[in-house]
Amino acid sequence: MLRWPESGKRGLKVTRLLRLGALTLVLLGTALAAQAATSNLNLSKSNIYRLTYHANIATGTQAAALLAELDKLGPMDVDKLKQWLPANFKRFGIEPRLVKKTVVLPAGQAGKEAAIILLSDPADEAKAVETTVKSSKSNSSD
């Protein structure tokens, strides 16, 4: 029978290492889950508009196409944007029923560009506005 020298101390070290490894995995999993919970908002930017949207509403390509069209049309006031967007979602492959709330922040309120926020869950409005404003401030040299 093989015996490890000082098996009692070695067993204690192995147990501590296993516990530390398990704790590390739990903390890593928690951090990844928290990141996934907050990363469901995507941000796209054009010359005139900044678009924040849930990942289940549009792809990056759809958002870019929407912003390109809005750039061609030029600046619009808040009321006109709120009317134009739902009327044109389908043209860009965006399913209107997924957009539960549209928020438009005029230029100057959330940065130099007007901000459009498309929400699939209206409860996320505060987080989306915060994300949009934060992003605008971090890109203020654009």
With cut-offs at 50, 70 and 90, classify the pLDDT of residue 122.
Answer: very high
| pTM of the shown model | 0.66
Residues β-bridged to residue 94: none
Mean pLDDT of 21-42: 57
Percentage of residues of the chain with pLDDT beyond 70: 68
Q: Report the distance separating Cα 108 and Cα 24, nearest Å.
A: 44
Q: Which of 26 and 109 is assigned the larger pLDDT?
A: 109
Mean pLDDT of 22-41: 56
Q: Are 50 and 113 in contact (CB under 8 A)?
A: yes
